[in-house]
Structure 1
């Protein structure tokens, strides 16, 4: 559960019509108001504000939002009961209050419209209201075991409007810049480039900083209102811790760089030695001994066909005659 507080308004007509005429709107409770006709409700609010005609922004408006996980157990009676407890803790009492439930989103929510001019004509203060809203919302969430959102990262920025939208813009910018700066003054300069002002609160009569606030456009928030981690003390500590951590990492980075350089040099030296060894080797001439090769044709031995009609004596006689001629010639 979380309360969403727009900037205090001037017109009950616009606020009441938005709440009561929304499609599916249901008036759950009203105190000191007629709710039969929207015009009657507006007239009742304006009648009481005349007790403090100098108060321009007399319209109080708060939207109580629950997580979709809480929907099954959120009856109308329970929402009204929690809303009354919320208003009491916020010190909004003894005045006209209108409670209207809307069903236009997937998360249950209840609109509270109240008169900042109470029943006795006194003004209900809205100072520190946003900071108190955070504390009260968290306390009720824990008390009733409602779903607790895990940090601002899960908030749907697209649905935010007005002060809440600006607050989350400031939060996102600070969180993005904070890890990169070395001092609070540097943070102030970097935020200034993003259109975000950073103002210091000093201890009376001294230059000692007690707090910090951030502004953008028409809105201004204390650091702790933007987020509990963004008070002046916590911002200073975060920057100091970041600087120290970077200083610790620098020697390690240098050692890693030197090690990388040594490895590169070693590789170059090894490459150079390899090339030198290769150049100093005597050239080796390889002699190929080519032996003359005589190619022999494999001719099949002719077969002598010895048949029965061949005269053996004639064959052998011829051989003897040839041998005799060869001897004569040699003489």
Structure 2
């Protein structure tokens, strides 16, 4: 599965493009907007955008493309789209998920409002990268076929060994968060991927931080993604007295970040 992200200013133009013509577009899921007509849908998006008038680029347009051999039902597509939005931080906001049938491979268009239902701005920083990582994790979690992009005419910078390991840890955590139901399950998941989970304690012996190590490289959870801090995992799984944090080792001084 491949993710592409576009941000823009016009809900009217985006809704019209995504939902018309009706012969190629099938609405799979909506939240907070009407689906009967693209004009009404755009009006609903604009009404929420007006809660934050200074947010000019409030249109999120995401495209999820699947491999032609992937057997994905409408139900699975809608479910993947919602997990994708949650993973990149687009929650508590208006959404429309639309399947297009004009190409050989299955693909989705996702419209979301970067002004949430409380009138607060949703960060659009690194949305493209966040979308790419979420798509990679979902592809692995749901055992989809890896769809490869065509090579760039001007290849980008080659990742260093340390950056490559950091990407591998990120993908493992993102996938584990979707598959695991408890923090203990996540720890076992990381061990199976040869990744050590380590904890930092304060003077009172309470856990106050988390890091991940693979091979000779280790990273604070929050440096991989802000949701991967210890407090972030507490929010995801809730506090459980029986998780194995009491046996976890302390972080050593001089840990490579």
If the TM-score is normalised by the length of the shorter chain, which range does it land in? 0.5 to 0.7
- The structure-2 alpha-carbon separation of the partners of 1:51 and 1:38, relative to structure 1 and needing over 3 Å to count, comes to same
Residue pairs, 1:143-154, within 5 angstroms: 143-149=141-147, 152=149
Q: Which has the higher helix share?
A: 1
- The structure-2 alpha-carbon separation of the partners of 1:68 and 1:119, relative to structure 1 and needing over 3 Å to count, comes to same
- Flag structure 2 segments of 5+ consecutive residues without an equivalent: 164-257
Q: Match for residue 132 of structure 2?
A: 134
Question: Deviation string for 1:77-116 (max 9, x for gaps)?
Answer: 0100111111111111000000110001101001000010
Q: Which has the higher strand share?
A: 2
**Cα shift at 1:173:** 2.3
Which secondary structure does the structure 2 equivalent of 1:68 belong to?
coil
Runs of 4+ displaced beyond 3 Å: 230-234
Q: Distance in 2 between matches of 1:49 and 1:233?
A: 41
Q: Match for residue 2 of structure 1?
A: 2
Q: Distance in 2 between matches of 1:12 and 1:149?
A: 29
- 1:120 equivalent to 2:101? Answer no
Question: Deviation string for 1:18-61 (max 9, x for gaps)?
Answer: 01113321111100011112221111011110011111101111
Indicate the structure whose relative CO is greater, using CA pairs within 8 Å and at least 6 residues apart. Answer: 2
- The structure-2 alpha-carbon separation of the partners of 1:127 and 1:232, relative to structure 1 and needing over 3 Å to count, comes to farther
Question: Deviation string for 1:166-191 (max 9, x for gaps)?
Answer: xx3xxx324xxxxxxxxxxxxxxxxx
Which secondary structure does the structure 1 equivalent of 2:90 belong to?
coil
Q: Match for residue 21 of structure 1?
A: 20
Q: Match for residue 95 of structure 1?
A: 93
Which secondary structure does the structure 2 equivalent of 1:29 belong to?
strand
Q: Distance in 2 between matches of 1:129 and 1:40?
A: 27
Q: Distance in 1 between matches of 2:11 and 2:95?
A: 12
**Cα shift at 1:149:** 3.6
- The structure-2 alpha-carbon separation of the partners of 1:140 and 1:120, relative to structure 1 and needing over 3 Å to count, comes to same
Larger-gyration structure (1/2):
1
Q: Distance in 1 between matches of 2:93 and 2:160?
A: 34
**Cα shift at 1:2:** 1.3
Which secondary structure does the structure 1 equivalent of 2:8 belong to?
coil
Q: Distance in 1 between matches of 2:68 and 2:147?
A: 11
Which secondary structure does the structure 1 equivalent of 2:13 belong to?
helix
Q: Say if 2:66 and 2:147, in contact at 8 Å, map to a contact too.
A: no
Q: Distance in 1 between matches of 2:9 and 2:94?
A: 16
Q: Distance in 2 between matches of 1:115 and 1:129?
A: 13
Q: Distance in 2 between matches of 1:233 and 1:27?
A: 42
**Cα shift at 1:135:** 1.6
Which secondary structure does the structure 2 equivalent of 1:124 belong to?
coil
TM-score (norm 1): 0.46
Which secondary structure does the structure 2 equivalent of 1:114 belong to?
strand
- The structure-2 alpha-carbon separation of the partners of 1:55 and 1:231, relative to structure 1 and needing over 3 Å to count, comes to farther
Q: Say if 2:59 and 2:113, in contact at 8 Å, map to a contact too.
A: yes
Residue pairs, 1:74-85, within 5 angstroms: 74-85=72-83
- The structure-2 alpha-carbon separation of the partners of 1:141 and 1:34, relative to structure 1 and needing over 3 Å to count, comes to same
Q: Say if 2:15 and 2:39, in contact at 8 Å, map to a contact too.
A: no
Residue pairs, 1:234-253, within 5 angstroms: none
- The structure-2 alpha-carbon separation of the partners of 1:231 and 1:45, relative to structure 1 and needing over 3 Å to count, comes to farther
TM-score (norm 2): 0.59
Alpha-carbon RMSD across the aligned residues, in angstroms, is 2.1
- 1:67 equivalent to 2:67? Answer yes
